[in-house]
Structure 1
Amino acid sequence: MAKLLTFLGTGSYEECCYSYNNQVSISSNYIQICILDILNKSVETNINEIIIFLTKEAEIRNYLANAKYPSKPGLKKQLENYIQNNNINLKITPVKNVPNGNSEEEIWEIFDILMNNIKEDDVIYFDITHSFRFLPMLAFITLNYSRYIKNTHVAGVFYGSIESFCQEKGISIREIEKIPISERIVPIINLTNFIELFDWVIGVKEFMTSLNYSMLDQLSKRGVKNLNREVKEKNDFIINNELRNLSDSIKNLSENILLCRGLNLIKSYKKLKKNLKEIGEKNATKKSLKPFKYIIGKLNSTIECEENDIKNYLKIVELCCNNNLIQQGLTILEESLITYVLEKMKMNMIDLNNRKIPTGIYNKFIKKELEKNDLLFIEKLGEEIFLLIYNIAGIRNDINHCGFRPSAADTQTLKVKLKEFLDQAKEIIENIESK
């Protein structure tokens, strides 16, 4: 069900028209009538109910009467007349005796009142024009809360900016009656993107703490859709494509890390960095994509590419370490070190028999069963890297066998071990590369 939620205040409201999305409303001193008129003219919108939150004073001054024009009806009668004149099916729900919010208890009571008037799967339009003091903030919090608790969709958050109209005309609000009503066209500002900003916060947090890309992927695709509405120049199409590429790169890197797709890891890691450089801050001027500016900066500082692939693998392991992906980190670390050893020995890195060699060398070293070929590996790369691979394999097997072994490590030990192994790997690789 589509609902318009609105607060009615106690002020003396001037009569004017309002404009939104190239639509101009009829004139009224109540913005609720004007918003309904604009939404009613839209073929995409069908409002089923208007819910008006009223303090006792607002009900007396502006719902039942008209504080500004005593000879004219208040909002209640104006709404009834509008519904009848336009032959629309709209339920009017006044919510009376809303507290003023003079204490924390009253603020929580208002929160409960708002939530009780929002149902599962509602499509919500919210007018905050006459909300006072803390109410706009409370409305934003409640709308976000309802989206996750009641699966609502916030289609619009509106603010009638009579201040900006007066500023443009160079007059005070008290002088607005000097302007003919037909020219008193006040803009409605849509604040819905600020609701979505909460999603960006959650999306970035999820990606930066667990490499969960799903919300960022959804948001960037939604951003592309919004950008399509803004596109006017050819260059904007380029930005649009870059945003799609960035979204795909985030998704691909996350999936390759989470599912340990070693052959694709470096490619997807480098591609994400490339896309980050391409898009830069080009979208900073696009209002629907402004949050991306800060995400790009955050990602840029996190994704650092090296010329040497093994160092890029270690960067990815560091991502795993920082994001608590211990199993993935250990797997990628061991397999990337094995790959590095084989590449250094100019051997086929995807041959299964070859991949068993680095893992087995230190085991043979302990048993004093080293063969001539094994000694060539040690001579070229040193003992340390094979000891590290051997140690990682033991911990990795502990995880992969679900800890069903007599000497199973606890969770904290596994986390500590990954960090220790990573630090050792960095030092060993540095020593090998400096020879």
Structure 2
Amino acid sequence: MNRKVFISVLGTGFYSSCSYVKGDFISSETRFVQQATMEYVDVAHWGVDDAVFILLTDGSRKNNWDMEITSRKNFRTNEVESYKSLQAVLKEMNLPCLVHDISIPDGKNEEEMWQIFTKLFDVLDSGDELYFDLTHSFRYLPMLILVFGNYAKFLKDTTVKHISYGNYEARDLLMNQAPIIDLLPLVALQEWTFAAANFKNFGKMGDLTTSIVSVTNRWSIATKQERRVKESIINLKNNINEFEKRIVTCRGRELLKGDAVNAVKQHIDMALDSSFPQPIKEILRSLKDGIMQFSNESVDNLRYAINWCIKYNMVQQAYTLGQESIITILCEKMKAVNPFAPTEEKEFRSYIAAILGINVKYVNDEKEWNITLTRHRLLSRAFFSLEWVKQLRKPYGKMTANRNQINHAGFLGTVSATLIIKQLQETIEACFSILDQSLEMPTVPKMGEKLLINLSNHPYALWEQKQRDAAEVYGECVDLPFPNIEPSYDETEIERLAKEYFDKIQKMRGDRRLTVHVMGEFTFSCSLIEKLRKNGIKCIASCAERQVEIVDNSIKQVVFNFERFREYGCK
């Protein structure tokens, strides 16, 4: 359990007796507001590990603390009166926790101000719950205590539970009762200010909603409207937390949907119509202005999310959302030429990414294309011919490179952090300025004739009629003699030869739909077929029935009767 700590500054003046009141609470009649305040916060029922700290200047120790004090002259009447010191009063209260007197300077200059600050800070433990009485604080000490409370909150994880002022001058003369003024809202205002600064500088809204929820927790719910507002504030906090998590983790689909951020706007509107303090309402209006552009189910939400990340220096999130949003927008704009099935959304995204991400030196070198581009070769050629694709590729390439630099923690390059940050907005603006245009659609020419390449040691001219008939579905057949594979070849030589034949086949292909008939040495065939299939080229083998005949009782004659073609691998 956290330690409770009461802190008060004792003054030098002559204090007259009265009772202090707060709501239904009425204190004992006392000269010292410290006694009344400790009764109000129930120090009598604190634990032995809790503490009371009374801060004393030399003057206050002499005039109001020391046990030797038994009388003092009342400066109003000039008469000497019986006078019991605060130390004596606290001793009579028989508190369960220790009371510590802390000597402090008068605070006449900056050096003494920091001495007071240090003495206060040094007596606190981590996690302390602080109860302040500011009644007798002099000069700047009330302001110092307010600032000190937040300072200790950050460095020692303390919490200000109570802060008050006994207003003797405002007492009811007939009842001789003075009000205890709750100053905790001033602490809340500081918290709201810090939270607003966090939002303004870093886009962090969570601290703000936590502070607002703490306000509603102090409400005594009397009406249905107050109950609805309190529930709405809790939902506001939850929706803000959800929105922030989606930004931080780059949840593009959810950000595009916009449900969380639009719920935030609705809950803010309800809070603005409530009895919240005006400072909170001003902060909430500022928050709403910051998210006003977001709407329901709009691809524009992606751009707003990117701008949010740029504004609040969330560089990694901005690069990730930027690159993926560009692909998303292009998939939507180019859906009329989407060659993939409805269930292949991921494949279309990969295809668009490949169109934008290919190295410019490989655009016209189709043997360097990946399988995604090769699978739809004619469409890829059409995309590469478009002027907007050529313009978009450069800033998109920078964006990709910088995103990779971030994701690989800078271990795979030497790009400076300054340059990555500098190029963020430049590349985003360059890309979206192109996407905002009316983009020309790629025009895909009609597919050319089919072509069958016969890579084997059995020329097409020697095929039996049944095999020729079966081959007609693959188009014109062109022979490519199978290479001579020496037994001495190692894996490196096989791989080199397979790449050589892959390049030959690509050149023979042209615009025709290609099938390759591969029959020959296994290791070479395996390597070549793998390359061909990765590039979307169908590979087939001949399947035949083997018949053995014995001629003249000694000669074995093997005959293969063609039955069908079978495709390598799974569809």
Report the TM-score range of the alignment, normalised by the length of the smaller protein.
Answer: 0.7 to 0.9
Aligned 8 A contact 1:314 1:422 in 2: no
Q: Distance in 1 between matches of 2:161 and 2:86?
A: 23
SS at match of 2:13: coil
Change (3 A) 1:12 1:379: farther
Match of 1:76, as an amino acid?
Q
Measured after TM superposition, the shift of residue 405 of structure 1 is: 3.3
Larger mean Cα displacement after TM superposition, 347-356 or 118-127: 347-356
Give the letter aligned to residue 404 of structure 1: F
Report whether the alignment pairs 1:276 with 2:245: no
- Alignment RMSD: 3.2
Which structure exhibits the higher relative contact order, with contacts defined as CA atoms closer than 8 Å and separated by 6 or more residues?
1
Structure number with greater Rg is 2
Q: 1:71 aligns with which of 68, 72, 82?
A: 82
Count, aligned residues: 411
Match of 1:141 among 133, 136, 147: 147
Structure with the largest fraction of strand: 2
| Separation in structure 2 between the aligned mates of residue 214 and residue 207 of structure 1, nearest angstrom | 9
Corresponding position of 2:480: none
Q: Which residue of 2 aligns with 1:243?
A: 233
Give the fraction of aligned pairs with identical amino acids, expressed as a percent.
24
Report if aligned partners of 1:217, 1:251 keep a CA contact under 8 Å in 2: no
Label 1:338 to 1:76 Cα distance change in 2 as closer, same or farther (>3 A).
same
Return the offset for 1:333.
Answer: 0.8
SS in 2 for 1:50: strand
Q: Which one is further off, 67-76 or 105-114?
A: 67-76
* Contact 1:253 1:272 (8 Å CA) reproduced: yes
Residue 14 of structure 1: aligned partner: 16
What is the aligned partner in structure 1 of residue 564 from structure 2? none
Structure 2: segments with no counterpart, 5+ residues: 75-79, 367-372, 442-571
Identify which range, 127-136 or 71-80, moves more after superposition.
71-80
Gaps of 5+ in 1: 170-175
Q: Secondary structure at the match of 1:120?
A: coil
Alignment partners' CA distance in 2, 1:275 and 1:382: 38
Aligned amino acid, residue 115 of structure 1: F
Residue 305 of structure 1 aligns to a residue whose secondary structure is: coil
Q: For residues 140-179 of structure 1, what are the structure 2 equivalents within 5 Å?
A: 140-163=146-169, 165-166=170-171, 176=173, 179=174
**Aligned match of 1:232 in 204, 211, 222?**
222
* Residues 201/433 of structure 1: CA separation in 2 closer, same or farther (3 Å cut): farther
Which residue is 1:187 aligned to? 179
Moved more, 370-379 or 58-67: 370-379
Preserved CA contact (<8 Å) 1:8 1:52 = yes
8 Å contact from structure 2 (residues 405, 415) kept in 1: yes
Decide whether aligned partners of structure 1 residues 278 and 153 sit closer, same or farther in structure 2, where only a CA change above 3 A counts: closer
Whole-angstrom distance in 1 between the partners of 2:105 and 2:352? 72
Q: 2:123 aligns with which of 101, 113, 117?
A: 117
Once the two structures are TM-superposed, the CA of residue 319 in structure 1 deviates from its matched residue by: 1.2
1:419-434 correspondence runs (5 A): 419-432=425-438
Q: SS of the counterpart of 2:149?
A: helix
- Contact 1:2 1:48 survives alignment (8 Å): yes
Q: Deviations over 1:26-84 (max 9, x none)?
A: 1112111111222228978999432211222222222244554721312222222232x
Work out whether 1:201 is the aligned partner of 2:193: yes
Task: Give the 3 Å change call, closer, same or farther, for CA 43–117 of structure 1 in structure 2.
Answer: closer
Contact 2:229 2:274 in 1 (8 A): no
**1:398 counterpart residue number:** 405
Deviation at 1:25, TM superposition (A): 0.9
- Using structure 2 for the length normalisation, give the TM-score: 0.65
Displacement after TM superposition at 1:129 (Å): 0.6
- The structure with the greater share of residues assigned to helix is 1
Alpha-carbon separation, structure 2, partners of 1:360 and 1:434: 18
**1:207-260 Cα deviation digits (max 9, x unpaired):** 44444455345434434423xx33221111121122122211221121111111
In structure 1, what is the equivalent of residue 354 of structure 2? 360
The answer for the alignment partner of 2:315 in structure 1 is 326
Q: Is the 8 A contact 1:161 1:188 kept in 2?
A: yes
Partner of 1:344: 333
Q: Which amino acid aligns with 1:401?
A: H
Q: TM-score, normalised by structure 1?
A: 0.83
Q: For residue 293 of structure 2, what is the aligned residue in structure 1?
A: 305
Structure 2 SS opposite 1:352: helix
- After superposition, the C-alpha distances for 1:303-359 in whole angstroms (9 at most, x for unaligned) are 132568333211111111122211111110111111111112235597221111222
- Equivalent-residue separation in structure 1 for 2:313 and 2:131 (angstroms): 40
The answer to whether the 8 A contact 2:129-2:158 is kept is: yes
Please give the alpha-carbon distance, in whole angstroms, between the structure 2 residues aligned to 1:284 and 1:114: 41
Contact 2:48 2:97 in 1 (8 A): no
Query: Which residue of the other structure, out of 194, 207, 216, is the alignment partner of 1:215?
Result: 207
Q: 1:107 to 1:41 in 2, by over 3 A?
A: closer
